[in-house]
Structure 1
Amino acid sequence: MKSFYAQKSFLSMALWTKFAGYVLKGAGIGIVISAINDSLVSFVVFQGESMDPTIQNNEIGLCDKTTPYEDIRRGDIVVAASPKQLNVQICKRVIALEGDEVTFQPDGDGGYEDLAKLKNYKYIPRGHVWLEGDNKASSLDSRNFGPVPLGLVRSRVIGKFYPFRSATIFAREPPNDPWDRNPTR
């Protein structure tokens, strides 16, 4: 017959083994979630008013980090590093792609007026996109800092899911011609 201490030791060892198994499973799940968040999709809390009314302050969205640069389309909403402060992320809509013609005219505040009033023309250089916020009055975007290198684009916003009453999946427009990314050239 085993002694009381031997039974206690056995139970203690079994509990520690079970606990260690849970810890390792939890760590494994954490590593997988971290890898997914770093390379496939990410959750984003949107800050600021530059994308009102499409995306409002403090809404939470889901971003696709796997969209290749060559698949970014006009109308997509993207998260990019700010060309002025690389550690700051911005959320803007793609207005023009490389080779597209964009018109702009500086206004008195150092920003730019509405695109319909613009007179000067500019072509988007290779490997760049033109980004603008939906709320032009509250947006620092390509009208202020020019075309954004594609290398600064981090992800494409798939949709917003919180608060639930405003949950939306952002539909993508099909390309005009699958063989020509820039049909306006």
Structure 2
Amino acid sequence: MTLVRELISWIKVIIIAIGVAFLIRTFLFTPIVVEGPSMLPTLESNDHMVVNKFSYRFSEPKRFDIIVFHSPEKSDYIKRIIGLPGEHIAYKDEILYVDGQAILEPFIKERLEKLMSPSHYTHDFRLEEVEGGYEVIPDGHVFVLGDNRTNSTDSRFIGPVPYDQIVGKAQLVYWPFKHFRIVQ
């Protein structure tokens, strides 16, 4: 009889642990593996990350947040928010302009300095010229780019990303261990 009680006790613990893990993964955090070079130098292919799924339940996405979202190709993409709802985005001579104001992008500064011809890193464009032809980013959408502008499928090609397609904010690289860090 004691063995049966012990077994039932262990089964309860296992069921509760599975339930808690399911709730955490469904509503709070989820792992993702970076695939491809689109976020270099910030993130490398095969970096394992934790995505915070609840951060945008309490706050709006912010410029330069790195997010994971469901893409039109039915896979998840990881990109950086460059533009917010109601803003006009343009690039000219490797400078981001938001509503006509130049905005510094410190996360690509080092990469631009290393390039022989930096004017080909982020090709010049205006929001009106990208998928959808918008004058401003629509309400409930963000404009995203990969940090590796020469090799990224992002809002220049798929248009602004709807809030309801955002999985969450990428916050922590945990593997490989030498890359362990909180993502800025």
Does the aligned pair in 2 maintain the 1:103–1:115 contact within 8 Å? no
Give the drift of 1:115.
Answer: 4.6
1:163 pairs with 2:176: yes
- Structure with the bigger RCO (C-alpha within 8 Å, sep 6+) is 2
1:154 pairs with 2:167: yes
For 2:121 and 2:83, locate their aligned partners in 1 and report how far apart those are by CA, in whole Å: 15
* CA displacement, residues 77-100 of structure 1 (integer Å, 9 cap, x when unaligned): 000000x22x31110000000011
For 1:80 and 1:154, locate their aligned partners in 2 and report how far apart those are by CA, in whole Å: 5
Equivalences for 1:1-185 in 2 at 5 Å? Answer: 13-68=1-56, 70-82=59-71, 84-85=72-73, 87-103=74-90, 115=122, 117-118=124-125, 121=128, 122-171=135-184
Q: 1:45 corresponds to which letter in structure 2?
A: V
Q: What is the TM-score when the length of structure 1 is the normalising length?
A: 0.74
Question: Which of the pair has more CA radius of gyration?
Answer: 1
Structure 1 residues 38, 118: closer, same or farther in 2, change over 3 A?
same
For 2:159 and 2:32, locate their aligned partners in 1 and report how far apart those are by CA, in whole Å: 25
CA RMSD after TM alignment: 2.0
Structure 1 residues 18, 164: closer, same or farther in 2, change over 3 A?
same
Q: What is the TM-score when the length of structure 2 is the normalising length?
A: 0.74
Unpaired runs of at least 5, structure 2: 93-119, 129-134
Does the aligned pair in 1 maintain the 2:69–2:165 contact within 8 Å? yes
Give the drift of 1:120.
Answer: 6.2
Aligned length: 150
Q: 2:87 corresponds to which letter in structure 1?
A: D
Partner of 1:174: none
Q: 1:72 corresponds to which letter in structure 2?
A: P
Question: Counterpart of 2:55 in 1: which secondary structure?
Answer: coil
